[in-house]
Chains A and B, each alone.
Chain A
């Protein structure tokens, strides 16, 4: 009778409220332990030890596979399958004490032989590990007992423990390694369940996990490369988290929406305008300096990234303790750029090409950079290329003048010390410095050396430094524990949980 006295519209409202209450109560129970995340790219396969695609690590790292060490959300090295370790005084011998009672997802027991197998497999001549450089310091891996491994190095390496935390260095099972591309078998808190190609990958909680069990028992990674679809999927609730959202233009919309939490973090992605230092006119330091001064980083960040991203003046991430801000060294100054070009013998500028790989930051950033170069007299013809062509022509063939790309690997300052790298940049002093850094483990000393290295790159201007790529994380406001930053490419779900 109470409904009647309330009248029709009130009755409808009461019914609606009741239904909504019921539904939300059901949701509260149903949605607690499962999560659908979205990623832009689908991985080609799921073996992190046989491919460089960041998308592999973004699914399997810390979730399916674990290494001896792991990189935490703050970028620090933490114990993982190695519970502890000792380092010899000469820093050339590491003894790892392994976790006990660990099993692979297929039931096989994990022991020291798996560690030796994994490290030897990764550094073997026929290995297809994309980051073989991580293992070059290793001289020998010995099994001392089932839970102890000794790794001897050829030379002291300050980065060794860090390197062992990469996705490329995870420990795989002796019997299951061959099938990891399709059906990854690791030791982590999540098991691979199924993969609908072109659509999604589902992980399920591992009830036999050796460590602390995560709050989630089911995680679905859905692949949404299209920014418009990404926005729609989040708004519709089809996905509850987009840890690395591809459309900076849509971020303000989510910032204004209380249902979502927007977390702007950093990545290891130094985004640069690379120049072919071996090819005229870029072999002329004055031309490279002119280009550095011709570029307005703020306009690039505003135009290509809708204001997200941090300008950089060298090849070093601003969130690193050893970072020095050198953006003031090569200021945007088109007048100076024209003057430098005249001094270099190009008073009227010159014509060149700018090869752009597919990502939006490169294509949009490239259009802006080309316009800025045009303003000082450099006509850069834009050539859009696919990744395959970019790798073939630019990266391998070094057949390019200018290109834009983000170098996303952590700790990759040393690429400027490689003789055969596609920049064709050669500076023996810089090379010596990098060798010194690699052999140093004292933090204070390393910091000073890193800062010197940044200064050299800013002075030499082998490439033009644009921005540190941002991590645009958008997720349901009730979700906790996703990483703010990308110290390493990973969506570590071990600490993720729903709150109310």
Chain B
């Protein structure tokens, strides 16, 4: 049994369970303001303490997890679903199709991602949907590039040349020879992009461009914690740890999957 896979799966399931649990139960109402109870450190009543409005941080982290997971999941789905086929197509066909697709990619790619995301939200207002669109758009060329680069590096190898010489169809070559040989690289990339998706959502929320209050989001919790870092460091510590644990779990899961899927082992 692969250790990364087990640990990663355990953490990911735990986070998912926490997100699901938050729909039916949290220790406190995550949006309930209780000013007299503000800025309490971790206690028996509030395990992770309270924020500057006296809200329970554990409850906020639980509810906030839904937002993070949903945004990252959809954004990476968009990126991989569109980007990988485009990249493979470009590598395989070459010629004008490759040229055109790559030029289009260049264009998207030439725009600084975060700044474009900020522009998108400046036009249509902050919100989870805009965050998804902003992160998703920039995942497309990333996946396309990596898929194309990886496909090209196997394209000139002996066994593919042999398969081509035998007259195998392009789609067969892709599914039989190219994909299996680049799955590990793509898995690493999906891992990275998912991590980045959670991180990017947190970043946008931190800048005030994610889902608006009162729904808690991890990034905004960190933003609010920043000015109180000397006063209540627990406000910064726990939402950050939530991000780290979630991303870590997903990454370990990805690594484990890669090791299991890799045919060369």
Contacts and interface: CB of A to CB of B under 8 A. Distances in A.
Instruction: Tell me, yes or no, whether A and B come into direct contact in the complex with CB atoms closer than 8 A.
Output: yes
B125 A368 contact: no
A397 to B, nearest CB: 15
Contact of B227 (A250, A371, A389): A250
Contacts of B230: 228, 231, 250, 253
Contacts of A366: 213
A367 B214 contact: yes
A250 B228 CA distance: 7
B214 A303 contact: no
A253 B214 contact: no
A227 B229 CA distance: 10
Given A228-B226, A249-B52, A367-B53, A384 B126 contact: yes
Contact of A253 (B31, B52, B208, B231): B231
B85 interface: no
A302 B226 contact: no
Nearest to A227: B227
Category for how many chain A residues contact B: 20 to 34
Contact of B35 (A228, A302, A383): A302
A247 interface: yes
B214 to A, nearest CB: 6
Interface string A364-377: 10111011000000
A367 B226 contact: no
Interface string A294-312: 0000010011000000000
Task: Give the dominant DSSP class at A's interface.
Answer: helix
A249 B228 contact: yes
Nearest to A381: B212
A303 B208 contact: no
B38 interface: yes
A367 B34 CA distance: 12
Contacts of B97: none
A142 interface: no
Contacts of A303: 33, 35, 38, 52-53
Contacts of B126: 384
Category for how many chain B residues contact A: 20 to 34
A249 B231 contact: yes
Instruction: Select the residue from A250, A253, A303, A368 with max chain B CB neighbours within 10 A.
Output: A303
Given A367-B213, A382-B213, A384-B126, A228 B231 contact: no
Interface in B225-244: 226-231
Contacts of A249: 52, 227-228, 231
B122 A386 contact: yes
Instruction: Select the residue from A364, A371, A382 with max chain B CB neighbours within 10 A.
Output: A371
B245 to A, nearest CB: 25
Nearest to B125: A383
Nearest to B227: A227
Contacts of B53: 303, 364, 367-368
Instruction: Select the residue from B35, B126, B228, B229 with max chain A CB neighbours within 10 A.
Output: B35
Contacts of B231: 249-250, 253
Interface string B200-236: 0000000010001110000000000011111100000
A226 B228 CA distance: 11
Contacts of A226: 226-227
A161 B75 CA distance: 61
Given A250-B227, A253-B231, A299 B35 contact: yes
Nearest to B231: A249
9 contacts: A227-B227, A228-B227, A249-B52, A250-B228, A303-B35, A367-B213, A371-B33, A371-B214, A384-B208
Interface of A: 226-228, 231, 247, 249-250, 253, 299, 302-303, 358, 360, 363-364, 366-368, 370-371, 381-386, 389
